Amino acid sequence: MIFVGFAVAIAAHAQSISDAGAPPPWAYVVSSSETQKVADEDLVRRVPNSDVTYTFAQVNDLFFAPDWHPADHPKPPDIVAYGRKPNVFACGYCHRVDGSGGPENAGIAGLPKDYILQQLAAFKDGSRATSVPERLPPQLMIRVSRSITAAEADAAAAYFSALRPKQIITVLETDSVPRTQAAAWHLATIGEDEREPIGQRVIELPRDAEQFTNRDSRVEFVAYVPQGATARGRALAYSRDGGAHAACDSCHGQGLAGSGLVPGIAGRSPGYLVRQLYDFQSGARAGSASAPMKPVVATMSVEDMIDLAAFAASLTPNARHASAKQHRH
């Protein structure tokens, strides 16, 4: 994500360290320096299959959500499209106007309205934080949560919860991945043909880097995962052997598409899912709503988190809004 004009001034260290070890840097991408400004802020940007144009300055304005494809979704409320200065940034800037999000934050389309409001309250009261406070995206959420009004929060939550999530992630098992580097809170490739072993990582990249930096909600992603990760994740997700990991669908519903107030995790960014599992384990996500996750993650390794996230990301995300699809094998 590009955050032009924002200097990172957070010097705090992580509140606690998980038994799994230090937070995995490929999941908690931290930029080494502020993104450099482009000299011509009037430079016109375009994306495929859209007649809309925006300037560089508009695409990188925290109080403006680029809407390249307005026919794809209902008209967003002002709090989603523009926010409210000085501290309530446009919800659609980070999460996109259709709620699809990106690897650096969260896809929120189709999440239950009450769950979205619950998480805003958790950011506000400090019970939801991050294991790596240097990351700017959660810091922006905390700032928004402390300034947004109840009416604004309700409007945003109602809008995003009514949207249908899209399948924008392809999970690809592999032994090697493109070489990457940190680029404004996400990973970006280094060169065209340079590759390296994947190891125990998830490498999530946009198919079209320019679409992504222009904040096009139609951009799609490839999530590279280790060989065998989805099968191992399926076994973990649906285990009913009385082991340490409770069956995920017992709370998250059929096809992991969500149930009641419990959010769907099917088709969501695997990098985001790993961060949440790790944050539950480290205690960065606390509070009463996190209590059911505590025993589930207590003995998880990062490898377990990778496998579960890979499997969940491979599932169809819209089962909550359409006919549920059985993914148990």
Closest CA to 157 of 122, 193, 115: 115
CA distance 185 to 33: 10
Mean pLDDT across the stretch 151-180? 97
pLDDT band at 191 (very low <50, low <70, confident <90, very high): confident
Mean pLDDT across the stretch 195-222? 97
As given in the structure block, the two tokens for residue 277 are: 């599992």
Mean pLDDT across the stretch 277-297? 94
**Does the pLDDT of residue 2 top 50, yes or no?**
no
**Does the pLDDT of residue 323 top 90, yes or no?**
no
Residue 5 has what pLDDT? Answer: 31
> What value does the mean pLDDT of the chain take?
88
**Does the pLDDT of residue 125 top 90, yes or no?**
yes
**Does the pLDDT of residue 70 top 90, yes or no?**
yes
Residue 17 has what pLDDT? Answer: 42
Number of CB atoms found within 10 A of residue 175's CB? 11
Q: Which of 139-153, 206-220, 310-324 shows the lowest mean pLDDT across its residues?
A: 310-324
Better-scored residue on pLDDT, 61 or 41: 61
φ/ψ of 166, rounded to 5, equals -110, 155
As given in the structure block, the two tokens for residue 233 are: 């994740």
CA distance 223 to 204: 4
pLDDT band at 287 (very low <50, low <70, confident <90, very high): confident
- In this prediction the pTM is 0.89
Residue 8 has what pLDDT? Answer: 30
Please name the residue that has the structure tokens 């959010």. 263
pLDDT band at 21 (very low <50, low <70, confident <90, very high): confident
Mean pLDDT across the stretch 312-326? 66
Question: Interhelix angle for 136-145 vs 113-125, to 10°?
Answer: 100
CA distance 147 to 10: 19
Mean pLDDT across the stretch 39-47? 82
**Does the pLDDT of residue 19 top 80, yes or no?**
no
**Does the pLDDT of residue 127 top 90, yes or no?**
yes
Give residue 163's Cα distance to chain centre. Answer: 16
pLDDT in tens, 231-265: 999 999 998 765 556 799 999 999 999 999 999 99
